[in-house]
Amino acid sequence: MNPQELRRIFGFLATGVTVVTAIGPQGEPVGVTANSVTSVSLDPPLILWCLTTKNINLSAFALHAPFSVNVLTEQQTEIAKNFARSGTTKFRADTYSRNTSQPPTISDALARIVCRVVALHLAGDHTIIVGSVDSFESREGSPLVFQSSRFGRFLPAQASADAFDPLLDVWM
């Protein structure tokens, strides 16, 4: 199996872009760009995301640790790129705010989901981090999207007679 070809094919999957933040073991702010975020359950409210086991910030996401998923807007490409880099100097005063008892908040994010780690699962070269949702907030705007190694925005298709009703979990 060719890993580069598989990575290219995985790249066809368009995803939203987030910055997941936490508080590191020494009390320092920690943040990573993640496009592997997905909802798991509404009852109870659960979310998951994946982090490579080689990431230096993995210890910040231990069992019961608080973390925040910050959904980025289409104007926040540079923030996504910054938090995708390795290193520890990712936080700039103009891009986040911090309350010492809570994970950092990315300024002007489209949404923020505050969670607590309830499960960790090793899967290949990544750890699947499952979080119980404690609170959330959002504002109007357009999300940043990532597909085929490029950032962009979502453009809805032409209106269709077919519509999906997420509350009923059926096509109408």
pLDDT tens sequence across 85-137: 887 678 877 677 777 678 999 999 999 999 999 999 999 999 999 999 999 99
Provide the pLDDT for residue 131.
Answer: 98
Q: What is the CATH number of the domain that holds 146?
A: 2.30.110.10
Domain extent for 138:
3-171
Q: What are 130-161's pLDDT values in tens digits?
A: 999 999 999 999 999 999 989 999 888 766 55
CB atoms within 10 A of CB 16: 18
Separation CA 71–CA 20 (nearest Å): 9
pTM of the model: 0.87
- Reported confidence tier of residue 167, pLDDT bands at 50, 70, 90: low
Burial of 144 (0-12, 13-18, 19+ CB in 10 A): buried
Provide the pLDDT for residue 172.
Answer: 45
- Reported confidence tier of residue 21, pLDDT bands at 50, 70, 90: very high
DSSP of 72-103: PBTT-HHHHHHHHSSSS----TTTEE--TTS-
For the chain, the domain total comes to: 1
